[in-house]
Amino acid sequence: MGHTFSKIKQAIALFRNIDFDQLAAIAAKVDLPQLMQQFAALDEKQLRHLTAMLSPGTSKKALPPIDGDFYDVYHTLTPEERAIQLKVRAFMEKEVKPLVNHYWLHDEFPFELIDKMRALDICGVTYKGYGCPGLSFVMEGVIAMEMARIDASIATFFGVQSGLAMGSIYICGSEEQKARWLPAMQRLEVIGAFGLTEPEVGSGAAGGLTVTCRNTPEGWVLNGEKKWIGNATFADIIIIWARDVEDGEVRGFIVEKDNPGFRVEKIKGKMALRIVQNGLITLTDCVVKEEARLQHANSFKDTANILRMTRAGVAWMAAGCARGAYESALDYTRKRKQFGKPIASFQMIQGHLVEMLSNLTAMQTMVFRLSEMQDAGILKDEHASLAKVFCTLRTRDIVSRAREVMGGNGILLEYDVARFVADAEAIYSYEGTKEINSLIVGRAITGFSAFV
């Protein structure tokens, strides 16, 4: 009797769970009574197989995780370094990713991120003292990679602040200059920019700067124009490199934004790194006190010391941009179906993915070693230049394949890869073009300078 009651209870519970609208929809397509008869004829084993086939999740094989670090390149990071890497990754994925396409499209900078970035406490990681922790160049590279993996513009903003601007003061500044500016820059309370390139002088900056400085009783007087200067539209201080009219040597100056001789105009219409605010600077009898001249910048060799340090960071950024594009593309190809199958199951798509991963793995291995050399104090210009050339070239290839395997959606901003494709173009050109960096490596390996 009890057994019968429990069967009735089970049947009632079953009926309560039935969605009769769905059942009616199924009944319109199949002969339900006949189907029920066939089910009733199944033995227990056949029924078990059928249940397993129909229950969600059990029929699908779990796919491998999406991870562009195929060789576990970062396994030697200390637990402290790994924690910083994951902290930056979480920030980029949670705080930056949802915003970037909007800001990229509108050619604006997301100022609301600065406070959150400050909380990360990652600015100037390699410097010792002045509020900076003195961590490794490998750590700095990993941070650049993690940032660019989500967005190369934010990575560039950070690279200008932490690398070029703070680096100029750290490497070429006096004790007073370092103490005054670096702690506030580390906290992102003072934003910096780095002004080397000019409208008519890019690759030839070493010998060709036309912005002049003249030492007068009132101070140094700067005149001329600077182009492409990242962060310049809102930076509090701008490092300006100028040629001394007396001896022809290159000197560096910390110019504050409210200097009456300083004017900046935003460069509009960029098709890459649109979140980065690049400025065209005009210096008109811009007077800067001796205290604001970088005391240890006495020739272009000193400027080159800064560029050597930051060029490695750009190679890391290229690796990050490539990794972001590869991981987005892999994810997409596993979800997108054509001819009834995920496109990731097609041989030619897998060919693209494997070529992307090969180059990405080579890049990450290379930049890791590059920063190890930097940490060991044996990094030379040609080492950084080789990585900049290789990584930015390969990144262009990777982002273009990522776009290709995504078909039409590859050119839509909402799928992220289109942004990586565009941004890779700027990374390819700044901090020394492929040609200039190739000439640096060529000179080192052949013993002949092919610079003209």
Task: From 83-91, 245-253, 400-408, 422-430, give the range in contact with ligand FAD by CB under 6 A.
Answer: 422-430
- Could you tell me the smallest distance in angstroms from the CB atom of residue 197 to ligand FAD? 3
Closest CA to 321 of 129, 144, 99, 114: 144
Candidate ranges 189-197, 326-334, 397-405, 411-419; the one touching ligand FAD (CB under 6 A): 189-197
Give the shortest CB-266-to-ligand FAD separation in angstroms. Answer: 13
Tell me if 357 contacts ligand FAD by CB under 6 A. no
Shortest distance, position 427 Cβ to ligand FAD, whole Å = 8
Among residues 203, 282, 295, 298, the one that binds ligand FAD under rule CB under 6 A: 203
CB of 307 to ligand FAD, least distance (A): 9
Q: Residue 128: left if φ>0, alpha if ψ -120 to 50, beta else—which one?
A: beta
State the Cα–Cα distance between residues 116 and 158, nearest whole angstrom: 13
Between 265 and 435, name the residue whose CB sits nearer to ligand FAD: 435
Q: Is 230 in the site for ligand FAD (CB under 6 A)?
A: yes
- Using rule CB under 6 A, residue 229 touches ligand FAD: yes
Among 263, 433, 443, 444, binds ligand FAD (CB under 6 A): 433
Give residue number: closest CB to ligand FAD.
202
Q: Of residues 305-334, which lie at the interface with ligand FAD (CB under 6 A)?
A: none
Residue 310 · residue 163 · CB < 8 Å:
yes
**282 contributes a contact to ligand FAD by CB under 6 A:** no
* 225 lines the binding site for ligand FAD (CB under 6 A): no
Q: Is 435 an interacting residue with respect to ligand FAD (CB under 6 A)?
A: yes
Candidate residues 197, 361, 392, 395; the one interacting with ligand FAD per rule CB under 6 A: 197
Rule CB under 6 A: is residue 436 a binding residue for ligand FAD? yes
* Residues in Cβ contact with 19 at an 8 Å cutoff, skipping those fewer than 6 apart: none
Tokens at 138, concatenated: 């490998």
Residue 438 CB, nearest approach to ligand FAD (Å): 8
From the list 39-47, 183-191, 273-281, 334-342, the region that binds ligand FAD by CB under 6 A is: 273-281
Instruction: Pick one of 160, 211, 366, 386: the residue that binds ligand FAD (CB under 6 A).
Output: 160
How buried is residue 116: exposed, middle or buried, by Cβ count under 10 Å (0-12/13-18/19+)?
middle
Q: Which is nearer to ligand FAD, 378 or 445 (CB)?
A: 445
Q: Which stretch binds ligand FAD (CB under 6 A): 31-39, 53-61, 270-278, 329-337?
A: 270-278
Count, residues near ligand FAD per rule CB under 6 A: 22
Query: Please, are residues 387 and 366 in contact by the beta-carbon 8 Å criterion?
Result: yes
Question: Is residue 241 a contact partner of residue 288, using CB atoms and an 8 Å limit?
Answer: no
Q: Which is nearer to ligand FAD, 230 or 313 (CB)?
A: 230
Q: Does 195 help bind ligand FAD (rule: CB under 6 A)?
A: yes
Q: Which amino acid is at 177?
A: Q
Contact 211, 198 (CB under 8 A): yes
**List 202, 219, 261, 342, residue binding ligand FAD (CB under 6 A):** 202
**201/357 with CB nearer ligand FAD:** 201
Residue 194 within binding range of ligand FAD, rule CB under 6 A: yes
Q: Which of 429, 442, 443, 444 is in the footprint of ligand FAD by CB under 6 A?
A: 429
Q: Given the rule CB under 6 A, which residues bind ligand FAD? A: 160, 194-197, 202-203, 228-230, 273, 276, 278, 426, 429-431, 433, 435-436, 451-452
